[in-house]
Amino acid sequence: MENILGGKLFKQVTVAKENLLRDLRLREGKHISKFYRMSKMLGAGSFGDVWMCVQRETGAHRAVKVTKSKIFENKEKDAPKNVLEMQDEDESTAASQELKNEIRILCQLDHPNVVRIHESFQDDHHTYIVLEICKGGELNDEMQIRGKFSEDDVAKLMRQVLSCINYLHNKNIAHRDLKPENILLENNKDLSQIKVADFGTAIQWDPKNKQPFKEKVGTLIYMAPEVFTGSYSEKCDIWSCGVLMYKLLSTRFPFEGEDEVTLRQKLTVGEFDLTSSEWSSVKPDLKDLLKGMLQTNPDKRLTADEAVNHAFFKRKPTDALVIDIDKSKMKKKQLEEVESGAIIKGALTNFLQFSAKSKAKISIYSYFTSELLSKAELNIITSVFKELDKDGDGVLKYRELMDSYKKYAPELAGEFEQKGNGLLKMVNLGCRRPGNLDDYVSYSRFIMAAMKDSSMKMRMAASVRMSSSTSQTSLTS
Ligand SMILES: Nc1ncnc2c1ncn2[C@@H]1O[C@H](COP(=O)(O)OP(=O)(O)O)[C@@H](O)[C@H]1O
Ligand SMILES: [Mg+2]
């Protein structure tokens, strides 16, 4: 531990997510290429390209969004204390506003279906946002390959998207550009782990003084009718989800128009087909959900919470173990654990035994979970998290944890009841969020606490070894 605290790694540990922008300023002059090696291009965006890159120190693969624009035009020394306190500068270009917005919002998000931000850099011409990589590409490409999706696959996908939207709306954030190009697959062809990306046009509202959104942003064919009128709310995201879901099931859009005028005419009438022969085999609960999401009147449209808790997503008997994970690359032992349910019990046991009484230890643990956990390990615990998050709001409430202990590890339920609030407080130590720290646990904190302690320690040790060998290499080269 001394090694870590005294060495290079501690500097990284202390860079909290909220300070990513400050980190960006501090690193001004230190080129991203010192930390990452660029590899192949992953996608093209409106303001720049996204590349795969490899972290030099750890060999980890990441994605980096490169934009030909700088966040800070002048090199003032005083960095903002907190990314959330950043003021928009008048002279900023549209691209730099979008970038700032994207970083500011991503830094607040911690959900299994939101692409995670790692850090950001700036040089004389570009800003770089380093993100978790999704190697499976865009949902859009998968839709072109597959054509129609089965109802089970639609349920699998849409529950994740809606869980993300429910989480965002609870945080007073609307995405405003939901479409299959911005939904990424973690692994090729695998629908069990998707990530929502591209928060450039997302918006956060003030709950004490909520004003309608005015900007006409998003992608025409996925835009809710009220967006065209210039006065709308977060319900625009539900509409986009409805359009996406319709397209997944039929390969067609519910409302089509070559231009804005014809599309708006269709939207004013508000009729879409659910009766033709291709819809005859689609079950009524699914049609009911589509109707609820594609209500032209936003007041009558389902909320994200109502949508994710709709009967369509509850088709599976609640007692069934629905751990949903790509099993193709799993080791035999892991597969047995997943299939027998032992994996959930193991995670709940680790969670109960989690012990870290200081903020420093917690920040080291959370650094290691976010930076060094392998994708395979992360995917397994993520699938447990999703299984336990029954109401799909992207956090585990005390009640959900209690129910999980009763269901999957009844012999531990008493101990959890005893430790419950204190345990949650400890796991959440240092979290900066409104409300009590013993009400719920967020995604990354659950992952941190549910990881096997021994596995965490092994990774720490390996990383320290790697770090010292890297510094030796650079000294000798
Ligand atoms: N984390 C990521 N992992 C893999 N590919 C990504 C990642 N982020 C973005 N991409 C690819 O780059 C494209 C553009 O990124 P996006 O954030 O949507 O930028 P823009 O705001 O310009 O549309 C995406 O549609 C996707 O193909
Ligand atoms: Mg995009």
Catalytic hit among 177, 190, 389, 393:
177
State how far the Cα of 371 lies from the Cα of 190, in Å rounded to an integer.
23
Average pLDDT, the chain: 83
Cβ neighbours of residue 93 closer than 8 Å, sequence gap 6 or more: 69
**Structural domain includes residue 81:** yes
State whether the beta carbon of 57 lies less than 6 angstroms from ligand 1.
no
For residues 98 and 47, is the Cβ–Cβ distance under 8 A? yes
H-state helical runs in 283-397? 284-293, 304-308, 332-340, 342-353, 359-372, 375-388
Spell out which residues have Cβ within 5 A of ligand 2, the ion: 182, 198
The rounded percent of the chain whose pLDDT value lies above 70 is 79
How many other C-beta atoms can be found within 10 angstroms of the C-beta atom of residue 338?
Answer: 20
Answer with the one of 113, 132, 151 that is the final residue of a domain. Answer: 132
Shared domain check, 282 and 263: yes
Give Cα 364 to chain centroid, integer Å.
22
Q: What is the tens place of the pLDDT at every residue in 398-421?
A: 999 999 999 999 999 999 999 988
Instruction: Point out the ligand nearest to the CA of residue 188.
Output: 1
- Ligand 1 within 6 A of CB of 274: no
Residue 64 has pLDDT above 90, yes or no: yes
In a domain, 476, yes or no: no
Active site residue 177: yes
Instruction: Find, among 153, 190, 178, 182, the residue nearest to 313 by Cα.
Output: 153
* In-domain check, residue 119: yes
Question: Do 303 and 195 belong together in one domain?
Answer: yes
- Confidence at residue 15, expressed as pLDDT on a 0 to 100 scale: 43
Band (pLDDT 50/70/90 cuts) for residue 157 is: very high
Judgement on whether residues 411 and 454 belong to the same structural domain of the protein = yes
Core vs surface per residue 1-13: b (16+ CB within 10 A) or e = eeebeeeebeeeb
Q: pLDDT at residue 292 above 70?
A: yes
140 lines ligand 1 (CB under 6 A): no
Residue 198 Cβ < 6 Å to ligand 1: yes
Residue 357: per-residue pLDDT? 73
Residues 146 and 250 in one domain: yes
> Looking at residue 234, what DSSP letter applies?
T
Q: Does the beta carbon of 50 lie inside 6 Å of ligand 1?
A: yes
Closest C-alpha residue for ligand 1 atom 24:
43
Q: Would 16 be classed as within a structural domain?
A: no
Region of 26 please: left (phi>0), alpha (psi -120 to 50) or beta.
alpha
pLDDT score of 445:
92
pLDDT, mean of residues 284-300: 97
Answer yes or no: do 149 and 102 share one domain.
no
Q: Give 417-447 pLDDT, tens digit per residue.
A: 999 889 999 898 878 777 777 789 999 999 9
Of the two residues 201 and 329, the one the predictor is more confident about is: 201
Let me know if 340 is exposed, middle or buried by CB neighbors in 10 A (0-12, 13-18, 19+): exposed
Q: Say yes or no: 279 and 386 in one domain.
A: no
Closest ligand to residue 202's CA: 1
- How far is residue 387 from each of residues 197, 306, 317, 379, 460, measured CA to CA in Å? 22, 18, 13, 12, 28
Paired strand residues for 441: 396
Q: For a substitution probing ligand 1, which of 41, 52, 113, 198 has the most ligand atoms within 8 Å of its CB? A: 198
* pLDDT at residue number 47: 78
Q: Which two tokens stand for residue 215?
A: 């900007």
- The closest ligand to the CA of 199 turns out to be 1
The verdict on 360 and 433 lying in the same domain is: yes
**C-beta 368 within 6 A of ligand 1:** no
State residue 224's pLDDT score: 96
Q: Lowest-confidence range among 92-96, 391-395, 473-477?
A: 473-477
- Nearest Cα residue to atom 18 of ligand 1: 198
Output 81 or 264, whichever has higher pLDDT: 264
Tell me the whole-structure pTM to 2 decimals: 0.86
Q: pLDDT at position 51, please?
A: 96
C-alpha of residue 182 to centroid of ligand 2, in Å: 5
Task: Please give the distance, rounded to the nearest whole angstrom, from the Cα atom of residue 83 to the centre of ligand 2.
Answer: 23
The verdict on whether residue 65 carries a ligand-binding annotation is yes
User: What is the pLDDT confidence band of residue 17, given thresholds at 50, 70 and 90?
Assistant: low
Q: Are strands 173-174 and 440-441 parallel, antiparallel or unpaired?
A: unpaired
With 70 as the cut, is the pLDDT of residue 82 above it? no
Q: Is the pLDDT of residue 87 over 80?
A: no
Return d(Cα 204, Cα 389) in angstroms, integer. 24
Residue 70 has pLDDT above 80, yes or no: no
- Domain with 336, as residue range(s), is 320-465
65 in ligand 1 pocket by Cβ < 6 Å? yes
Domain end position, chosen among 314, 330, 357? 314
With bands split at pLDDT 50, 70 and 90, how would you rate the model's confidence at 474? very low
Q: Which string of b and e fits 141-165 if b means at least 16 CB within 10 Å? A: bbbeeeeebebebbbbbbbbbbbbb
- Report H helices in 218-259: 225-229, 235-250
What is the per-residue DSSP string for 145-157? HH-S--HHHHHHH
Q: What is the pLDDT of residue 97?
A: 81
Residues 247 and 368 in one domain: no
Atom 20 (ligand 1) nearest CA: 45
As a 3-state breakdown, the chain gives helix, strand, coil percent values, each rounded to 5, of 50, 10, 40
Counting the structural domains of the chain, the total is 3
pLDDT digits (tens, 9 = 90+) for 179-199: 999 999 998 888 999 999 999
- Name the pLDDT band for 452 (thresholds 50, 70, 90): confident
Please give the distance, rounded to the nearest whole angstrom, from the Cα atom of residue 311 to the centre of ligand 2.
Answer: 31
Q: Which CA distances in Å does 441 have to 308, 379, 462?
A: 20, 18, 28
| Whether residue 169 is found in the same domain as residue 296 | yes
Residue 457 Ramachandran class (φ > 0 left, ψ -120 to 50 alpha, else beta): alpha
C-alpha 63 – ligand 1 centre gap (Å): 9
More confident residue, 366 or 221: 221
Q: What CA–CA distance (Å, rounded) separates 123 from 140?
A: 32
- pLDDT at residue 323, as a whole number: 53
Clarify whether residues 154 and 303 are in a common domain.
yes
pLDDT tens figures, 245-262: 999 999 999 999 888 899
Looking at beta carbons, which pairs linking 10-15 to residues 24 or more positions away fall under 8 Å?
12/367, 12/371, 13/363, 13/364, 13/367, 14/363, 15/119
Same domain, 367 and 441: yes
**Is 7 domain-assigned?**
no
Checking if the pLDDT of 9 tops 60, the result is no
224, 239 contact by CB (below 8 A): yes
- Check whether 367 has a pLDDT greater than 90: no
> Is ligand 1 within 6 A of the CB of residue 49?
no
Domain assignment present for residue 14? The answer is: no
Measure the CA–CA gap between 411 and 417, rounded to whole angstroms.
11
Confidence of residue 50 (pLDDT cuts 50, 70, 90): very high
Minimum-distance ligand 1 atom for the alpha carbon of 46: 22
The pLDDT of residue 185: 96
- Indicate the top mutation candidate among 65, 109, 175, 185 to test ligand 1's pocket, ranked by most ligand atoms within 8 A of CB: 65
Cα 307 from chain centroid (whole Å): 18
Residue 420 lies in a domain: yes
Burial (CB count within 10 angstroms: exposed 0-12, middle 13-18, buried 19+), residue 415: middle
pLDDT at 358: 77
Cα–Cα distances in angstroms (integers) from residue 443 to residues 3, 47, 106, 279, 346, in the given order: 29, 30, 14, 37, 17
- The CATH number of the domain where 180 resides is what? 1.10.510.10
Match 């009766």 to its residue by tokens.
Answer: 275
